[in-house]
Structure 1
Amino acid sequence: MDTTLQDPLLGQLLDGRYRVEARIAVGGMATVYRALDTRLDRVLALKVMHPSLAVDGSFVERFIREAKSAARLAHPNVVGVFDQGADGGYVYLAMEYVEGCTLRDLLRERGALQPRAALDILQAVLAALGAAHLDRLVHRDMKPENVLIGDDGRVKVADFGLVRAVGQQTSASTGSLLGTVSYLAPEQIEHGTADARADVYACGVMLYEMLTGAKPHSGDTPAQVLHQHLNEDVPAPSAAVPGLAGALDALVARTAARDPRRRPADAVELLAEVGAVRQALTDGQLDLLPPAAVGGGAGAGAVGPEDSTAVLSRRVPRDAAGADDSLNRTSVLPVPPVPPAGPAARTGRRMPRRSVQAVVVAVLLVLGAGLGVWYINSGQFTRTPGVLSMTESEAKRAVEEAGLDWKVAREHSETVPKGRVVSTDPGRGERIRSNGTVTLTVSRGPERVEVPGVKDASLADARRRIKAAGLEPGMVTREFSGDVERGSVIRTEPAAGTGRRPGAAVALVVSKGERIEVPGVVGEDEGTARQRLTEAGLKAEVAPERVFSEEEEGSVARQSPAQGSVAAEDDTVTLTVSKGPELVEVPGVEGLDESEARQALEDAGFEVRVRKVFITGTVFDQSVDGGERAPRGSEITIWVR
């Protein structure tokens, strides 16, 4: 039976907006669907957390962190996140839909890739990770399932759900690991820490897998694979692919070194190294067809960090068989007792100290587990029932039926509806004495802060009161107002009394004062102009330099803003004072013909008026004699006969 037919979300309208059309893939923590955004009429990918995890606050927090982290990384090789929300028990991310397949699908179809295609894909992945590392973010779950290859050949990195800031502790307090077994760096397993070099290690494992068609470490259980990560180097790919360039062996060895100090510091540094290795290889070395490759040749084309040609000979379905391989899924894993080396390994050499410690830990864990089973079965302890997302009354009844007492605490929650259980102490399934008390933390619903009323307050006072209310002052805009004093707040957006999430921004609209029409003062003397502007409620400022103009010397030649403009009270009008008309020397034009005289006077900056006595066209007189000075632009009359 096709299990997709049983998926309750197929055909549903999620959050009143996203119509779920088809299931793309199922992971350890979420299912990805193709959906239609009915509001914007576009196809996108909808990542929906498994309902069993959606009641766990820590997983929801991690899910929301993915949205925020991916949204920060506006990069062509990172899958974009458009929206995040919840609908009942479904918590979702709305993401960019990439038509194509995953690198896992491609490897399952091809077996192995030519070095050129492997390096093309790796460079695109490193371009995306480099942007994250420069922003001090670590992906922490790099694997072929999270590398998407579009039908156009573009490569994008997805699933930033485990992202953390560089240097933060990444293991759970319970001694668990979150990640994918086959790609965990040794320091993640040993110490639970991951920086950018953990992503580099995962890229080294992926490069080995692309070149050979197989993972460097394998086993029947996660513990066996983790043991190999800790105690065995990633082998040289040329051991599995004869003829592979030694430079590729060295690149894999450095990238997947067990000691993080021997790896490149981050994806940016590794991207530069990959580029250098690629430049050093010949076309023959780049186009070598691995023995494990299926249908290689021209089909395994090149892909680049941003725009690429397709690497697929045909599309591969993402939900292909084998997708439920537990070693390829993101999982919550107990930090396992690492098995000791076998008899062959013990012969002829001393067991490493780390392996000795692992054996001791394993023995102690086995003894501790046996004692724990005996202690629990003795009847003194039981397990906390699962009551997350139940109503308060349902949870109390379930706790009482388990023979336990309860007490109630309350807290705000953005994801759990009001009146339902957010968490319990002890947690679900944890050991508790048979007569113990379970603390039920019940949701108060989303925390909301009321926007304070700050109308008529000064801008500084309004900002202070908004911050005191637990909100943040936002953008300030200004409007004319005849009712509110200049510089005081007219209103807030959203309005006073509206409920907002703590820390949300509140925009402020501030008064520019009453609207004033600027009077015209051009042509008036400076003193009179100042007085008229002051009477209108404006300020006057005189420009330091005067200009020639038709206005009399000492009067206003021009003003800014101009007459009729709209200004606010106490706005400044700049006045430019006239030096009077500019006087220039008049050329003598008597004896010239009319056209020559006109040209000479106009070139000097004068207007010309012609009076004709006869029609011979020779100038015999002019209104201002040659050599005298007259205002530039004034009119000179010439008489022609």
Structure 2
Amino acid sequence: MSNKLLAGRYELIEKIGDGGMAVVYKAKDKLLNRYIAIKILRPEFTKDASFVENFKRESQAAAGLSHPNIVAVYDVGREGNINYIVMELIDGRTLSDIIAEEAPMDYRKVIDITRQVASALSVAHNNKIIHRDVKPQNIMITKDGTVKLADFGIAKAVNDATLSTGSKIIGSVHYFSPEQARGNYVDERSDIYSLGIVMYEMLTGKVPFDGDNPVTVALKHINEEIKPPSELVSGIPPQLERSVMKCANKFQTNRYTSAGELIEDLDNIEFVTKIVGNTFFNDAAATVERKKNDSDELDNKSDKKKKKKAGKKKKVIIGIAAALVLLIALFFIGKSVGLFGGDSKVVPDLSGMTYEQAEKTATKDGFKIKKGSGVYSPDVAKDRVAQQSLEAGTKHRKGSTITVNLSKGSKAGTLPNLIGKKYDEAEKIIKKNGYKLGIVKEVTSTEPAGTILKQDPEGGVEADKGTKINITVSDGKGKEKGTVPTLTGKTLEQAKSAIASAGFQVGNISYNNSDIYGSGYVMYQQYSAGSSLDKGTTIDIEVSKGKESSDGSTNGNIER
């Protein structure tokens, strides 16, 4: 399908991905002159009209998500039987490829990737969008280490098709939550379960459940317990393992309540391991065992002095190891009493409060507060909290600072009129006036290429700053229209002149007798007067030869 042009705008260059649900192409947006990725649904998914409608609706909802860790969706369309999504082109690799090469992966890299995916999920969940298909194949890593989560909302349209479409989609079931496998209600915690399975695979190089067919794997998610990753790979920080097991708990109520809560735990794990190292338990145990063996060897020697010295060394090593273990235990146990800043508190909802009210509430709940920048908000009254840096309802360490941005009120402005302007000029006008460019559609028109034909919302109306303006642009390939003149009743020469003046061409001229029109006058024209035609179209006419006489001859001269 390479070199095919979709919507007269997206030129497919090469296939860059092939999945069970869709094929992904690198493409070029000829209108905006940029490279993009186009995901084209496989034909078996497009036979069901309700599925196609769900796919379109969910993809358009996902297009509203804007976050550094989410693959941007630019457009959703259909051409013939081809349903496609236009997305941001990512210069990087899938996490599945990285796992295949690097797993078991370093725990620090696992924490970093998980935190970024959780950040993307947090934004989606706050917008009431559940991913439903978190897996390594849907996670991209750019060359600078930025994580990008793709395919938001698409799995909702797929519904249970993942289990029945064929072997190419079997991979998804390895990351299904038990409630998905049962076909029950899913929520934010279902995405967290899937992320827990991804963490497990990064740490061990294996998924916890596998089988000969998707149904077998699904049943294992429902019925079998996950083997702790430390039984497969050593050196995993215990708290990180507990985090994985909490994410992948079979019961939704036992998992993290939000992606933000998972992020907080990951921050705590990173804090601890920076102090004592990632393999403190294993290193301590190994050191004790090694020194014990050394001591046993010395016991066999006759030199009592060396034996005594080795015994003292052993006691010192055991003491150090015990102190390290005690330090870690104190950290986690002491979270409830504030040791190492680990006392977690639920972040209060400060939205709509004055700064004084927010300060009082935050202080009472054990947090510090800081005034950020003012922001325009159509929903929040002036000088009241419109945004807060720590999400309400999530847990953060006591003493953490909440930065609040106070509302500057609604800053409604008048939308600029873009009709008739060139695309490049319109883009600058939109940005200058504090608005955003929305969906850009290209249609065939006689107007010069790049001319704005329509805009939504229309110009001249009031709208809040930041409103997206969708525009329709001419491709410049349309033909100019002309109005067909009245030709009947005119002489042939008059008719020819009228056709030429209107921008058309004279077509076939035929002759026939008429009892109404005199000889040499046009009595029929191919297109009705007043109708609209592309200029340059030929128009056939019929000219009267006058009345036919009784002997079959024609009265009058014929004008040719």
TM range (shorter): 0.3 to 0.5
The TM-score normalised by the length of structure 1 is 0.42
Question: Which has more helix, going by share of residues?
Answer: 2
Higher relative contact order (CA 8 A, sep 6+): 1
